[in-house]
Chain A
Amino acid sequence: MELKSHEPSGPIEERWTEHKAHGKLVAPHNRRKYTILVVGSGLAGGAGAATLGELGYHVKCFCFQDSPRRAHSIAAQGGINAAKNYQNDGDSVYRLFYDTVKGGDFRSRESNVYRLAELSVNIIDQAVAQGVPFAREYGGLLANRSFGGAQVSRTFYARGQTGQQLLLGAYSALERQIDAGTVEMFPRTDILDLIIHDGRARGVVTRNLITGALETHMGDAVVLATGGYGNVFYLSTNAKGSNATATWRAHRRGALFANPCYTQIHPTCIPASGDYQSKLTLMSESLRNDGRVWVPRNPEDATKDPRKIPEKDRYYYLEERYPAFGNLVPRDVASRNAMYVCDDGLGVGNAIDDDGKRRGVYLDFSSAIKRLGRKTIEERYGNLFEMYERITGDDPYETPMIIYPATHYTMGGLWVDYNLMSNIEGLFVAGEANFSDHGANRLGASALMQGLADGYFVLPFTVGNYLGTVRELEPLTEKAVKAKLERDPNYSKAQADEQLARIEKLSDKHIREVNERIEKVMNAPEPTHAPAWFARKLGTMMYKWCGMSRSKEGLEQALVEIPKLREEFWRTVSVPGDTDEMNPTLENALRVADFLELAELMCRDALHRDESCGGHFRVEHQTEDGEAKRDDEHFSYVAAWEYTGDLKAPKLHKEPLTFEYVQPSMRSYK
């Protein structure tokens, strides 16, 4: 299989415009004849469903929550980047493009990233017109802040709730289309399989989470916008329901999974407080603008009141090691350094690992409070301080926060071309669920940008381009068969009936397969442990062997242990209750079963990528100062894995990465 990225050629700043100029369109009166299935209702899925509906397509949108407004995009705190250059500080589309390619450690596709930077400005216009209440200056114009190591102020924000406000914008557009009848919404619905017919993605198998009913929905194109797979680590900043089932099931049906080992461990999260911990909470990266990160120089000070440790005994390790960027180094660098100091036994706090080392560092605002006054700090971070206090019981105005890195985002995902279409015709993948824009490390405030660019601006064109190219697809819904019968004088009633029978057979076959899987998980021979027990065990393994630092030995061990755990799962998982009712244990069991397979692919990918890049850090490949050392000669490619039916032997396909504009260089933040 040759991976064709379908990138346009020519000057990079003209590629998207040119691509659109030569694409196929679907005429307005024909759009309603096409059904598009959109899975997920976050920034990518919600914006995509709303815009496709607005264009006149018949859209069905699915989410597992009780309302599309609850998708996990809602939890993004800090902001969204856009190259508006409102601050006159030298920003441009090109600079945002450059920063994103460099930040991704030269492991992303230039054309995609440029388009993302280009569309960033349209997103802000769109969101403001929808009524997203971004922060403003006294003159009434939009305010910006610097974020995550950027040297310009290009981040737009709505207090610490930017994701919420952008999602509510997309949600309101979606609800408007639901009211208009162009979008049918299916909340509390899990997607348990993808239906491929004649080599094209044509449908999904759903489980109604209230009644347990299994159904199929057929259409002309399928969009997966289901987010990332960070919950493979169990403790992550993802929502509890975030899962990889739809993408993993698509992978098992033939969609390539690209760069699964690229995961982002966010440096500023609240550490776990005990083994009952169910998730970790992020503290916005914006805190690093004013907070100083340190640990005591002497291990014996670990339990001492930090306020009583004199300056000379404090190790401001980021400021010392990276004088140019200091506390604002990119996420992967900040996380790794927190790990190093804790490995050295300098950690603080009550989270203690198996080796007896404390896993926490201080994030201290005392000098900022002294310099700027408590009021300013309150204005900037009030809601975050409140959140911290609520979770830990400590007051960050009085005593430093204790933070530690946690899994936050996954850059890997299903492989897509420039049109966001996977190697399966008609299967589109958007937002965090695809692999496309962030390379090996995502910069702050760029996830919201990508989700919305994909949803509002890319998919509405590329899905249309696909449908305009294939024109007529075999009718797979009753409605489509009926329409064909009315339209086509050569199509007989007998043919139509035959087609309906064929559809039913296709549908039954898929439902039967899903049902077998459900029966299997409900009836393990020795039911002993809850699904969450396995998820927690898997997460511990992944943090240990496929987390912030990875080694050949560790990954090889993981590849022995994960299949063992998977075997134990299918033998001893306990799922009480019935299948024909709301059953949260069953929902979780099916998701955990898929994580247990995906985890193995992540480790395999991490083992094969014998270099360090961005969030993927192989201990064998580092500079003398412990920085990631890339190997462009051998690894400047996208690793896209094909499922072969044997989890132990996925097939690797490579899409070479070429850089015409940003020459790969050693990332340095010194």
Chain B
Amino acid sequence: MAETQTLTLHVWRQKNANDAGRFETYKAEANEHMSFLELLDTVNAKLIEEGKPAIAFDHDCREGICGMCSLVINGYAHGPRERTTACQLHLREIFKLGWKEIWVEPWRANALPMVRDLVVDRSALDRIVQAGGYISIRTGSAPEANQMPVPKDVADRAMDAATCIGCGACVAACPNASASLFTAAKIAHLGLLPQGQAERMTRVRKMVAQMDAEGFGGCTNHGECEKACPKGISIDFIARMNRDFLKAMAAARDDVKTP
């Protein structure tokens, strides 16, 4: 038989950005095989039947890849299990920890403004990508795919960075609310590959500038982002971004875009 427990949830409720916001408390019947979001579903089903507004929370694929879900669970972005999004966090993990009472909050950062309840606005992350997180290639003008070999270890390393799901847990976990891990991962993904070399220096300058303009904090090497990242992206990429940034600034002074 599946184990069940009654949990007490303190959920952040806030009507909109102008509302003060507060925790509201709910009891929920938890089954060890449920996901954390399914637990919120059961709370919502009850609220709706009682004619009360449901808790708004972002979610979509529920298999850990779309990056939509974004909950701080008892202080942990995406909850206590490492390398796991909130949608893939199953309650047996909560049972193992013996948690009976759980606080659920949204991502909190100035650059990610409140929308409602547990939903925040992450469009700042899109704008960082708009600033240069791409390779400028016109559709139809691509050379034959095997014309340019990419060493396997380089491709694998690029993939390690490209695996970022853009959820923003790194920002939520960082004491400075820095988006360095997110930005660095994209810079590394494209900067490692031969295809990405032409724009490598302009890319790092523009993306870092945008990250600052959005109001994200700077990186002071706490390493919380790496721990919270559901895809386990390494902070080594931040060091790499900083190196590229310095090179790019020096190159810019010499009026050369590619070193």
Q: Which residues of A come within 8 Å of B, CB atoms?
A: 47, 50-51, 54, 65-70, 72, 74-75, 84, 86, 122, 124-131, 133-142, 158-159, 161, 164-165, 168, 171-173, 175-176, 178-179, 185, 187, 210, 237, 239-241, 273-274, 276-279, 281-282, 350, 387, 390-393, 456-457, 460, 527-533, 574-577, 581-585
Contact B60 A65 (CB under 8 A): yes
Q: Give 20 pairs: A residue, B residue, CB < 8 Å, sorted on A.
A: A66-B122, A72-B66, A75-B65, A135-B155, A136-B151, A140-B151, A172-B134, A241-B60, A273-B31, A274-B2, A276-B34, A276-B38, A278-B38, A279-B63, A390-B84, A530-B54, A576-B51, A576-B53, A585-B53, A585-B54
Contact A391 B41 (CB under 8 A): no
Chain B interface, DSSP helix/strand/loop, else mixed: loop
13 extra A-B contacts, CB within 8 A, seeds A66-B58, A75-B63, A136-B150: A65-B66, A72-B60, A142-B145, A171-B129, A176-B130, A179-B131, A273-B33, A273-B34, A281-B63, A387-B88, A456-B140, A532-B45, A581-B15
Q: Which of B61, B131, B152, B189 contacts A75 (CB 8 A)?
A: B61
Q: Which residues of A contact B152 (CB under 8 A)?
A: 136-138, 140
**B63-76 vs A, Cβ < 8 Å mask (1 yes, 0 no):** 11111100000000
Q: Which residues of B contact A137 (CB under 8 A)?
A: 152
CB distance from B198 to the nearest CB of A (A): 11
Is the interface on chain B under 10, 10 to 19, 20 to 34, or 35 or more residues?
A: 35 or more
**B109-125 vs A, Cβ < 8 Å mask (1 yes, 0 no):** 00000011001011101
Q: Which of B122, B136, B166 contacts A176 (CB 8 A)?
A: B136
Q: Which residues of B contact A75 (CB under 8 A)?
A: 61, 63, 65-66
CB distance from A634 to the nearest CB of B (A): 40
Q: Does B62 contact A (CB under 8 A)?
A: yes
Q: Which of A65, A86, A135, A533 contacts B45 (CB 8 A)?
A: A533
A267 to B239, CA, bound (A): 44
Q: Which residues of B contact A276 (CB under 8 A)?
A: 31, 34, 38, 41-42
With most chain B CB atoms within 10 A of its CB, the pick from A70, A159, A393, A585 is A70
A460 to B121, CA, bound (A): 32
A428 to B22, CA, bound (A): 46
Q: Does B135 contact A (CB under 8 A)?
A: yes
Contact B125 A67 (CB under 8 A): yes
Q: Which of the candidate stretches B156-164, B216-224, B251-259 sits at the interface with the other chain?
A: B156-164
Q: Does B16 contact A (CB under 8 A)?
A: yes
Contact A125 B142 (CB under 8 A): yes
Contact B60 A582 (CB under 8 A): no
Q: Which of A124, A281, A576 contacts B145 (CB 8 A)?
A: A124
CB distance from B153 to the nearest CB of A (A): 9
Q: Which residues of B contact A133 (CB under 8 A)?
A: 155-156, 158-159, 162, 189, 193
Q: Which residues of A contact B41 (CB under 8 A)?
A: 276, 278, 532
CB distance from A49 to the nearest CB of B (A): 11
Contact B149 A140 (CB under 8 A): yes
Q: A133-B158, A133-B162, A530-B45 are in contact. Are A125 and B193 (CB under 8 A)?
A: no
A171 to chain B: closest residue by CB = B129
Q: Which residues of A contact B159 (CB under 8 A)?
A: 133, 158-159, 165
Give 10 nearest A-B pairs by CB, closest first.
A140-B149, A172-B134, A129-B142, A530-B48, A577-B53, A273-B33, A125-B142, A133-B159, A179-B130, A128-B145
A50 to chain B: closest residue by CB = B139
A125 to B121, CA, bound (A): 35
CB distance from A311 to the nearest CB of B (A): 31
Q: Which of A65, A239, A577 contacts B62 (CB 8 A)?
A: A239
